[in-house]
Structure 1
Amino acid sequence: MTDSESDAESAASADTETDAPDVLVLRNGTHGMPVEQYVAAIRERLPNATIELARTPSEEREAIEAARFVTGMTLDEDLLEAADALEVFACAYAGTGHLPLEALEDRNVTVTNASGVHGPNIGEHVLGAILRFTRRFHVGARQQRRREWRHYKAHELQGSTVTIVGLGAIGQAVCERLEPFGVETIGVRYSPEKGGPTDEVIGFDGAAFDEALARTDYLVLACPLTETTRGLIDHETFVTIDPDAVLVNVARGPVIDTDALVQALRSNWIRGASLDVTDPEPLPEDHPLWTFENVQITPHNAGHTPKYYERLADIVAENVRRVAEEPTADLENQVLP
């Protein structure tokens, strides 16, 4: 550890007026991994700081009263009301739409997120889904179950056009992993003038998006859910896109009009779909999407990685040091204010 890091942690621990921890960790974990692993990862990076886990609802309400730096998956308004000293909330998810952002802003609380944590694992998930449909491994698996030695036709990824909607950390990770496969890539983002890692970058508006759909072989959705992206993939999209195209959604379920997707699958307007997210979610047992052999469904699982807490702890520990050194400093992954 450097002298500056040691000094930062000592400063973070120098609260003599209260028994508040340097970092309070709320009780909810994610992806079936115990939240204690997250606490251990933070402690490993900040050995001289006080890291406290609130393991029950009553412990959360008591501990958050004096806590200045809190991290967790969510923070409801009732718990926020009890947070008299809160200065930073480090959200352990990349998305923050589930948080009471207006209330946090009114109280001048700095909010950070877990952007970048999911890049490698979701990038690999998308690549796996694309290769599954390209080489039609699902057909081979079905024939294996039936013990059928029978050749079937496949596809080739090289020379295909992959359109990636959303060029954040996940979209960039997808693009990086596609590079060795000799594909053309189109990126869709709110500010196309910023460019990106894809061969071509366009916006959501105008004819450019429709033109991109018309020449897309694989459409990857890796965007946040906003007013612009809600229902973005609708009936008109499925009429426009090539019927041999494959849709991969690792964004949010409502980015796709589910009824339009079901109609497109029944009408053979697309070759198939890989859905890690759905609308509704969880997908009801009697939903027709379960019945299509050319639909791959995973239970919002692309975000799972054994490295999740490790990567998240890197972000949190760095921000604890920054706050200790300069309370007004910009933080990594800061989304509010």
Structure 2
Amino acid sequence: MSDMEMPGVLVSAFEGPHGICEDHVGDLQKHFNLITMKEFLENKTQFNRKIQAIYIWGGKPDINRELLLSLPSLKIVASAGVGVDHLDLPLIASFGVKVANTPHAVSSPTADLGMALLLVSARRVLEGYQMAISPATENFCVNWMGHEVTGATLGVIGMGAIGYKIAQRARAFEMKILYHNRSRRKLEEEEAVGATYCEKLDDLLRQSDFVMLAVNLTPQTQMMIGRRELGLMKPTAILINIGRGLLVDQDALVEALQTGIINAAALDVTHPEPLPRDHPLLKLKNVILTPHIGSATHQARRQMMQNLVESILASLSGLPVPNEVLLK
């Protein structure tokens, strides 16, 4: 089958920070004629009716009304990852276009990173590394200490697939696990990981030594951790965010970190990404930042690609779409 006979799939680019993974291109081209945004914009009349799917990688390409109007044959928007806050779902649905994501591929690696950030921040690993390699270091101080993880209380906000896997991992550290979610888990699921449900977020914040954000960004969860919520946390507590940057009021977080309202923060996500180079979070010693790498493993990213291919092919064949995102 020639490229032009294959279904046309719009992608951001083949190179650059928002390009699709180079290792995946060959697999994708077995099924689709990949058309970059640059190619499409330079010759819309050639490609507009051929494009039947949009393959979103790293949040790109952007989907707006103008793009949707220009793609009359579009059937599905397939987006890598679990979060869909970058998509206007009602707008896309109004064009009769389906949306799919890849929630199962990201849950384990993101939970792994959440625990890594918890451990690194608790034991001050980054500060310790800098001390160990500094030319100015002559002695290691015996009284330089971090915080114990074993037996500590972890509060998980968002007990979906990722949050539950975090609880599974935390149980191995003999942690006391609290969780807050829009709906309570089944009793047997709670018992399996030793988790206690907190109907009120405030109760979780007051009791937790570590607070882990693993919730999706929605209008209801945006800025859910602000000055008031930070003030409820223990002064020794550490905030870990593996969800989305906008879950947290970053100005309030900076203030809380500078004044000792909380002890530290470990953030895989911020708003924007990356932060401006003069942002105060970049200058604080009690902050660890990583570049939104929750799902950044070779295995997870390949699984994401395969899941997207399955969803696109199902949509084009008129079959039920795996991992279809439905309007609520």
**TM tier, shorter chain?**
0.7 to 0.9
Single out whichever of 218-227 and 31-40 deviates more from structure 2: 31-40
Find the aligned partners of 2:312 and 2:67 in 1 and give their Cα distance.
21
1:189 equivalent in structure 2: 181
CA distance in structure 2 between the partners assigned to 1:140 and 1:320 by the alignment: 47
Q: 119, 124, 140: which one pairs with 2:128? A: 140
List per-residue Cα deviations over 1:176-208 (Å, max 9, x = no partner): 3223111121222111255655512334xxxx3
- State which of 55, 67, 73 in structure 1 corresponds to 2:36: 55
Name the SS for the 1:68 alignment partner. strand
For residues 174-323 of structure 1, what are the structure 2 equivalents within 5 Å? Answer: 174-192=166-184, 199-203=195-199, 208-320=200-312, 322-323=314-315
Moved more, 315-324 or 263-272: 315-324
* AA matched with 1:149: F
Residue aligned with 2:105, SS: coil
Q: Which residue of 1 aligns with 2:109?
A: 121
C-alpha separation between the residues in 1 aligned to 2:78 and 2:18? 20
Percent identity of equivalent pairs? 25
Equivalent of 1:111, from 64, 84, 99? 99
Partners of 2:237 and 2:255 in 1: how far apart?
A: 15
Among candidates 46, 50, 54, match of residue 66 of structure 1: 50
Query: C-alpha displacement at 1:314, in angstroms?
Result: 2.5
C-alpha distance 34-319 of structure 1, shift in aligned 2 (>3 A): closer
What are the ranges of 5 or more consecutive residues in structure 2 without an aligned counterpart?
Answer: none
Q: The residue matched to 1:95 in structure 2 has which SS?
A: coil
Please give the alpha-carbon distance, in whole angstroms, between the structure 2 residues aligned to 1:187 and 1:294.
25
Counterparts of 1:94-105 in structure 2, within 5 Å, are 94-105=82-93
- CA 1:193–1:141 in structure 2 vs 1: closer, same or farther (change >3 Å)? closer
SS in 2 for 1:302: coil
Query: Shift of residue 300 of structure 1?
Result: 2.5
Report the AA paired with residue 27 of structure 2.
A
Equivalenced residue count is 311
Q: Distance in 2 between matches of 1:324 and 1:76?
A: 22
SS in 2 for 1:335: coil
- Which aligned segments of 4 or more residues in structure 1 are displaced greater than 4 angstroms? 29-34, 193-198
TM-score where L is the length of structure 2:
0.83
Contact 1:42 1:316 in 2 (8 A): no
Q: Using the alignment, how far apart are the partners of 2:310 and 2:36 within structure 1?
A: 24
Residues 172 and 38 (structure 1 numbering): CA distance in 2 closer, same or farther, change over 3 Å? farther
Distance in 2 between residues matched to 1:95 and 1:64, nearest whole Å: 27
- CA RMSD after TM alignment: 2.8
Amino acid in structure 2 at the alignment position of 1:40? G
Q: Which runs of 5+ in 1 are unaligned?
A: 1-12
Partner Cα distance (1:28, 1:305) in 2:
20
